[in-house]
Amino acid sequence: MPTYNRADLAFERGEGAWLWTGDGRRFLDFGSGIATASIGHAHPHLVQAIAEQAARVMHTSNLYRIPQAEKLAARLVETSFADSVFFCNSGAEANEGMIKAVRKYHAEQGHPERFVTICFEGAFHGRTLATLAATGNEKYIAGFGPVVQGFKHVPFGNMNALRDAIDGTTAAIMVEPIQGEGGVRPASLDFLRQLRAAADEFGILLALDEVQTGMGRSGKLWAHQWAGIEPDVMSSAKGIGGGFPLGAILAKERVAQYLKPGTHGSTYGGNPLACAAGNAVLDVILAPGFLDGVDRVARHLWRGLLELAHRHPAVAEGVQGAGLLVGLKLRPEISNGEMQNAAVAEGLLTVAAGMNVLRLAPPLIITEAEADEALRLLDRACLRCTPSQARDAAK
Ligand SMILES: *Cc1c(COP(=O)(O)O)cnc(C)c1O
């Protein structure tokens, strides 16, 4: 179906942060798919885990115990706020389940009228009918019939509007610690803390969408850890499988307890192959020093990007995001699509995001030398995009 605007590039092979087309051209991948190939391409440990598991057993269904899923869930619980985990296959599915979980919680507490999730303008939560309603963006919703009920939107970062929106029908606040698709816009750590406090004050749940920000991308395993808060429930996907489809809902017991047999499920969810991939990714990300390394290389990249933005005032306005989820905010005259194409012409893959931002989400395994190479290519891409008057003025 004509659902995608694909670039005319097809990759045959990858290694680490690099991809090669069939005709031998090499690209530095600072998109990781879309923030998904978290430990790079063809990581030997991930390749081996998938190959060995595929040769044993790929799928048995949730009618039986799945040791790989039990192991992965136990590790996620051990390293997060959560008491239990549900596995699915994508971000939208994780969010769909998270929305069900917060509604079920209030229904079981005797308050079925509390089914509204408060979301934020600029959010992206997925493409299913409920997650489209949570996303709330008219551009994605139009033409798909009645919008699923039970979602409200308030301006991102506005605590007064948030508090005004809370009433007797509110079930939860759902938020991305950094709005990814919406333009790599971070919530301030203070805003996240105030959301936690408001949720506690009104007896509602804090549901974090860490589909894009989680699994080490921010330099900590979960982005909310920078704020020192804990959600009640959280979704994860994208980087969790390192490129293999996998999603998860992590929850406190007080939420998870109500999702009894028959209330929710998935045929593929948490199958042995996907969980073998998830465990292999975690082996890499939880290895001693790995996340410190992500933080270090991210700071190096940020320094370079701030300099680059300073050197190219006719192209870039600034740098935003956190860790290895970085947005180069472009001037209104330069479209992010144009800049993305200029980067491709220089051999660098990036991803556009909302609000005219060029998104960089490299694999977490990049080196400082690779960050420098990306900066060199971006610098040349900026030159390609610099309007001729600005170029003349700079001479
Ligand atoms: C990508 C994304 C989703 C949707 O994930 P899919 O795997 O495409 O369904 C949901 N929330 C956030 C924050 C995302 O970045």
Domain holding 130: CATH number?
A: 3.40.640.10
Q: How far is CA 51 from CA 32, 48, 54, 67, 287, in A?
A: 21, 5, 5, 17, 21
Same domain, residue pair 132 and 281: yes
| Residue 36 within a domain | no
| Residue 163 within a domain | yes
Same domain, residue pair 258 and 385: no
Same domain, residue pair 119 and 252: yes
Q: Is the CB of 210 under 6 A from ligand 1?
A: no
Same domain, residue pair 197 and 59: yes
Q: Is the CB of 212 under 6 A from ligand 1?
A: yes
Q: Looking at 285, 306, 340, which one is the last position of a domain? A: 285
The DSSP string of 129-192 is HHHHHHH--HHHHTTS-SPPSSEEEE-TT-HHHHHHH--TTEEEEEE-SEETTTTSEEPPHHHH
Domain that holds residue 189: 44-285
For residue 95, what are its two tokens?
A: 């969010």
Q: What is the value of pTM for the model shown? A: 0.98
Q: Looking at 285, 307, 335, which one is the last position of a domain? A: 285
pLDDT tens for the chain, residues 1 to 395: 999 999 999 999 999 999 999 999 999 999 999 999 999 999 999 999 999 999 999 999 999 999 999 999 999 999 999 999 999 999 999 999 999 999 999 999 999 999 999 999 999 999 999 999 999 999 999 999 999 999 999 999 999 999 999 999 999 999 999 999 999 999 999 999 999 999 999 999 999 999 999 999 999 999 999 999 999 999 999 999 999 999 999 999 999 999 999 999 999 999 999 999 999 999 999 999 999 999 999 999 999 999 999 999 999 999 999 999 999 999 999 999 999 999 999 999 999 999 999 999 999 999 999 999 999 999 999 999 998 878 777 66
Same domain, residue pair 278 and 341: no
Q: Among 178, 238, 240, 246, which residue has the most ligand 1 atoms within 8 Å of its CB, making it the best to mutate?
A: 238
Q: Is the CB of 181 under 6 A from ligand 1?
A: yes
Distance 196 CA to ligand 1 centre (A): 22
Q: Is the CB of 126 under 6 A from ligand 1?
A: yes
| Residue 1 within a domain | no
Q: Is the CB of 218 under 6 A from ligand 1?
A: no
For residue 140, what are its two tokens?
A: 């994605």
| Residue 280 within a domain | yes
Same domain, residue pair 280 and 182: yes
Amino acid at residue number 252: K
Q: Looking at 254, 285, 316, which one is the last position of a domain? A: 285
Looking up residue 385, the CATH number of its domain turns out to be 3.90.1150.10
Q: Given strand 170-175, what is the order of strands in its sheet? A: 84-88, 247-251, 233-236, 205-209, 170-175, 116-120, 151-154
Is 171 within 8 Å of 204 (Cβ atoms)?
yes
